[in-house]
Structure formats: C-alpha cells, structure tokens
Structure 1
C-alpha cells in the first residue's frame, strides 16, 4: 500500500452500520478487498472507499490484521516489531497487532477512484485469547441509495469535474459514466446526459 494524501469527504450517509465481530481460537478472515467487483454491491453506494477497524480487546497471540500485498516505504518505518511478537500469518506482509482502543484506517481506492489492489488484507487466526473488533465502512456514495429514482443528470462526487478534466471519463468509464443498468457517478461532468 502506498502512502499518499487522499482528500475526500467521508459523509455519514455514505457509511454502513458498524459491525461487531468476535473471533475465537483458530478463527480468521481470509484475504479480501473491501471494494467490490459485482454490480449489485456497487449499486448500493459504490465501492467502499475507507475502512475503519476498531480493536475492542487485546489479543494475547495472533489475530493481527495483515496486508500481504502492501509495501512499506523506508521513510515511514518505525522500529521493527519483534518477530516473536507476531504470528506466522502476520509475517507475510505489513501487520497490525490488535490492541484495545486502537483503530486502523485504510483506503481501498486510489486518489483517481480506481481500486487499490495493495489494500488486500486478512485477519490472522487467533492463537491465544479472543478478538473483538468493530468495523465501519464508508462508501463513495450514500449507502443503500434508491436507484429507482434515477434519471437525474448530476455528479455524485464533488471531484467529478476535476476528474473529467483529467480524462477519467475515458480512463475510468465504469465509475465515471457507468452503464444503463448502473449509472456512473460523474455523468454530468462526462457529458453523457
């Protein structure tokens, strides 16, 4: 995952309800992305742009959140975590140990609104103890919007005009323009309506 400045609006109506999860010994979450590839989920508010993962408990061993495809830049490195302190799963990428009261914020989209494949992440198996976490996902658009109301020619993101000027209407047509079944978010700026 590259470090970059992303200016976006994380509006309350774009968020899903918080989900609380409990992981017992051996339980894990396989590697996955928080953005979508299917039209049904994209229609319900668009991609998840941001994830806030809140740790509600300490975990004695295991339970880390690991980013196996992320690369850490040397200028941002902290003192290395002792390898004995991480599970084998967590050693396969950049990992965050769950500590009660900590929160992890990461983005699933690049600044040009395309999916960031380095945001692949997983929950490592709990080896000792129990893990409780709460997750809040923020979408590009209002979550569970009413698609039946369609037909209006508007931009659904404040950056649409700038993105269109940068050529994103042709570089990223799925998001910007959309299709008859799933309208894009920048139809007005792309001059398709």
Structure 2
C-alpha cells in the first residue's frame, strides 16, 4: 500500500498517532507536556516513530531522515531534562521544555510532508522528491509557523511567570 513496507506502514501509523496527539495538545493546552495524557501519548509515539524509522532504508543506508530521528530523540531528552522534576536549565527550564517538545513536532512535519506528498496522489504525486523546490517552500512555511508558535509560547510562559508571584502561585516565580 502506497509503496510502504510492513515496517513502513507500522511506522506511519505510529507517526500519525504522534501527530494527532501533538496537534491536540497544542490546540488544547498551547504546549506539549508529559504531565498530561496527550503529551505522554505524543512523546511515546514520537520515540516509537524514531525507533521504527531507523529500520527503514528505502533510499540506501543511514541518511537524512535517520539523522532527523537522532536529533528528535536528543531534543526529547533535553526537553525531559528541563521538566519540572529535573529543571536542569534553571529558570530557563520551562522555556527549554516547551520549545523542545514543539520543535520535535516541527521535526515530524519534515518527513511527514516529504513522504506523503512524494507518494500522493497515487500516480501523480505533488512533489518529485525531497529536493523539490515547492516541497522545500512548504517545509519552510511550517518552519515559520513553528517560529511564530514558539514565540507565542515564550510570551505566554513569560506572562505566567510574571503573574505567578502576584497570584501567590508557588514554584512558578524566579
């Protein structure tokens, strides 16, 4: 189906779960956090997406998609280290955590757009391959969406931090 191997089909199904959970988390909570069910589903599905992706070698050996998988796992680890239990980045921890998880959502978009639109519609895919300029523009558009979203998240976190001491909220202040 769509030129996918059995592992490729499993990988795709898991990645769709990750994308759905991540998108719902961003819509509902304006961030992806492991403290809620959607965030945990997103994180674990993303890890499984990366791990299953390492076994897919449609275009030869280890390539750019595999490197993106490694980068995604590293960023997930950094975001986890920034979480409220570790706070490895001090006052910057909430920002590192939130932007880290959001960055991994953007990382999903790169192979997602590439693999989808170089295969679909069947018989006449929208893009000729990963280097197609129109595809690169689409990925660039999603990068701009990520940057704008990250800026809004930083602004929101900054406001929450500023409002926390005035509201008597413990642990959110400096």
TM over 0.5: same fold? no
Q: More relative contact order in 1 or in 2 (CA 8 Å, sep 6+)?
A: 1
What is the TM-score of this pair, normalised by structure 2? 0.29
- Structure (1 or 2) with the larger CA radius of gyration: 1
